[in-house]
Structure 1
Amino acid sequence: MQTYQQIGGFMRTYQQIEAEFVQYEAEVAALKQRMAALKERRKDMRREACNRALPEIVERMTAAGITLEQVRIALAAAKPAVPVVDKYRNPETGDTHSGRGHCPGWLTKETKKDPRYWNPEWVAKDAAKKAAKEAAKEAAKEAAMRNKTNSSGASVADEAQASNNAAQTPSGEVQASNDAPHHSTVNALNPLSQSSAVGAA
């Protein structure tokens, strides 16, 4: 059975850990705030450096007769080439091959089907490519569903507005239009009304 001293020591240790935890949380929050400020400052300084260098670059391009098309070609050529990962790998020697063209002796129809001869780097790259493709497909499907939901919601709103407008139409106008032919027919069949009309003429 624990004594009061043991319980008291445990509580003191717990309180110390809790105090350190609170202190570290405050330090982490301060560091995050500082990092956010530094990111904004770095973005501003980079923008300012570009604005300062741009006039000089334009002046030199104009003096040398360099066109924007030439700059685009040079930038495209300066892009690093995407490394090609071979699909197959010899597990004994470590040699790799794409599987196209003339294949070495260790790469046969049987070894191409053997997972041991598949290059792990190519397998990982292929899996990431398939995952990205599936994610894009799911995102497109969700966007289509959202658009469909929004359009159906707009249709329901339009129908509700039309019903509301019909309900707000004055009933007297409808009644008057319905009663007009009835009154004219009665007057036409009533000889007293006809005689009074003739006398008035």
Structure 2
Amino acid sequence: MADTAMIDLTENRAMLGALYAPPTGHFSVVDVPTLPFAVLDGEGPPEQPSVAAVVKTLYTAIYPIRREARKRMGKSFVEPPVELLYWADDMRDFAAGHREKWHWRAQITLPVWADRQRLAASVSDMRGELGEAAAPRWEAIAEGTCVQILHVGPTADLPALLAQLYGAYLPQEGLAPAGPYHEIYLNDWRRVAPAQRKIILRQPVGQSG
């Protein structure tokens, strides 16, 4: 049974667009509602091989749910993107790029009907392929007020954009970070050129001071 407190993004196209199709070129503010996710925590610096392994585990674990969603939605089905969150116990270590002190989490949003029990059943169905890999957990997550922007291009451009976000935009607007920094990857980097990569940068915020 779907949790009525959650937004069904397959039905609420306006919210889907607000969350996953923000404008490029300028920061915008969005209120992110409670959404269900399959979540796995990563350990150590978020290097590409370790991140790729966790993402592969996530997609494998939720394959039966994706298959059922595709069957239910038909041509309206859209593959949910991978989302990564990054933070540090001392956010100065995050800002300074001390990656050995970062924490990170990979997550993929689920349909509202895919509750905790359905995720557990999906993992059980795929245990043969998952081997000893950790099972993702189900979480209902509400980020609340966030600032976000869509970046199209190579990841080498991200530090300058983040410097603009944290060093200029947030202070000017009287805002401060209020949760982990969040990236959403809208396409598969293995299949697109760096100049075509699409990444949503999202930062939960609150009033500064």
TM-score range, shorter chain: under 0.3
**Greater strand content:** 2
Could you state the TM-score of these two structures normalised by the residue count of structure 2? 0.16
Structure label with greater radius of gyration:
1
- Work out which structure has the larger RCO, using CA pairs closer than 8 Å and 6 or more positions apart in sequence: 2
Q: Normalising by structure 1, what TM-score? A: 0.17
